[in-house]
């Protein structure tokens, strides 16, 4: 599918969780791409219907009344290298490409992995508070939404909003900050009924958890950084533990939006549906989008991005 389309349908309501059917709220999102993909001016804005929304603040965390299915914003499709993420600092929090030394950032291919080994994204309405010392890791939060690794078979599209079930997590310590990586699977995936906790991943996908830890351990080494470390010696924590982490970071987000937290100047809380001091009109939201350059052809990618890196 051509990613240069300025607007596309992202998802429809889905069903199923574990052995019983679960009603999932039906909602449809689209994206509007601005600028040139793989350049510093590239932005992906979100809409619900014809209204602009923030993927950080306006997309609900929970996709069903039972709070057992979660919405997940897909930032990086599996097997791709462009380091895309929700911008917490920009108004309406568009997805944009991370920057390294003034250039668009791409993750290295650390043999035998090509790009990201899962669909990578974020859980909306969560926030890892940089002033909160996590008792599990003895490190503070990284000031971002929770990261999520969606492990289903279908390669995601950037900006897709998927409904997932949480299975577990690993606790990456990234440059002294807690950076939880939530493991989840699309509820429509053929394996979803069999995967209900982190232990099921090893049963149905042997070696996958070890490969996940290895990827996060090594992926920054080609850029000259040391290997990453983990809390719990890299052990993947179970579903119950992970859902508590998700709930805690959702609570931290709620306090952020209710001004029950010291004002973090690096966070834009502008939203179009969440009541509060940071609500903006659709006219203002459209004005934010209009400040980005119009869609343009993709910026060529340096072939060096495809290089294999071998990390001992």
pLDDT digits (tens, 9 = 90+) for 74-105: 999 999 999 999 999 999 999 999 999 999 99
The pLDDT confidence band at residue 262, using thresholds 50, 70 and 90, is: low
What is the rounded CA–CA span in Å between residue 43 and residue 36?
8
What is the rounded CA–CA span in Å between residue 219 and residue 213?
10
Structure confidence by residue, pLDDT tens digits, 129-138: 999 999 999 9
Tokens for 250, please give them. 């959702």
What is the rounded CA–CA span in Å between residue 166 and residue 91?
29
CATH fold of the domain at 29-309: Inorganic Pyrophosphatase (3.90.80)
Q: What DSSP state is assigned to residue 45?
A: E
Distance of CA 186 to the CA centre of its chain: 14
Asked whether the predicted pLDDT for residue 3 surpasses 50, the reply is no
What is the rounded CA–CA span in Å between residue 100 and residue 15?
40
Asked whether the predicted pLDDT for residue 127 surpasses 70, the reply is yes
For the chain, state the CA radius of gyration.
19
Structure confidence by residue, pLDDT tens digits, 193-206: 999 999 999 999 99
What is the rounded CA–CA span in Å between residue 98 and residue 72?
19
The reported pLDDT for the residue numbered 311 is 94
What is the rounded CA–CA span in Å between residue 165 and residue 147?
14
**Residue bearing tokens 């950084």:** 225
**Residue bearing tokens 């965390």:** 61
In this structure, is the dihedral angle defined by the CA atoms of residues 14, 17, 21 and 24, taken in order, positive or negative? negative
């Amino acid at each position: 599918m051509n990613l240069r389309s300025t607007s596309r349908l992202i998802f429809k309501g889905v069903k199923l969780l574990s052995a019983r059917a679960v009603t999932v709220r039906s909602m449809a999102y689209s994206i509007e791409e601005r600028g040139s993909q793989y350049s510093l001016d590239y932005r992906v804005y979100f809409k619900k219907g014809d209204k602009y929304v923030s993927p950080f603040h306006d997309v609900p965390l929970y996709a069903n009344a039972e709070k057992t299915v979660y919405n997940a914003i897909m930032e990086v499709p599996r097997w791709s290298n462009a380091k895309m993420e929700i911008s917490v600092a920009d108004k309406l929090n568009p997805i944009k490409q991370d920057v390294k030394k003034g250039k668009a950032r791409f993750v290295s291919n650390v043999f035998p992995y090509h790009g990201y080994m899962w669909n990578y994204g974020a859980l909306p309405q969560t926030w890892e508070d940089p002033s909160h010392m996590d008792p599990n890791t003895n490190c503070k939060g990284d000031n971002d939404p929770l990261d999520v690794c969606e492990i289903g078979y279908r390669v995601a599209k950037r900006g897709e909003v998927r409904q997932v079930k949480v299975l577990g997590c690993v606790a990456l310590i990234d440059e002294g900050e807690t950076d939880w990586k939530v493991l989840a699977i699309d509820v429509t995936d053929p394996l979803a009924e069999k995967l209900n906790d982190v232990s099921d991943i090893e049963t149905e996908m042997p070696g996958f958890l070890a490969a996940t830890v290895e990827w996060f351990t090594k992926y920054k080494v080609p850029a000259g950084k040391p290997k990453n470390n983990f809390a719990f010696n890299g052990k993947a924590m179970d579903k119950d533990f992970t859902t508590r982490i998700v709930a805690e970071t959702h609570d931290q987000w709620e306090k952020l939006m209710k001004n029950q937290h010291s004002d973090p100047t690096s966070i834009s809380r502008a939203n179009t549906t969440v009541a509060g001091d940071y609500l903006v009109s659709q006219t203002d939201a459209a004005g934010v989008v209009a400040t980005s350059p119009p869609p343009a052809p993709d910026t060529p990618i340096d072939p060096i991005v495809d290089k294999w890196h071998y990390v001992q």
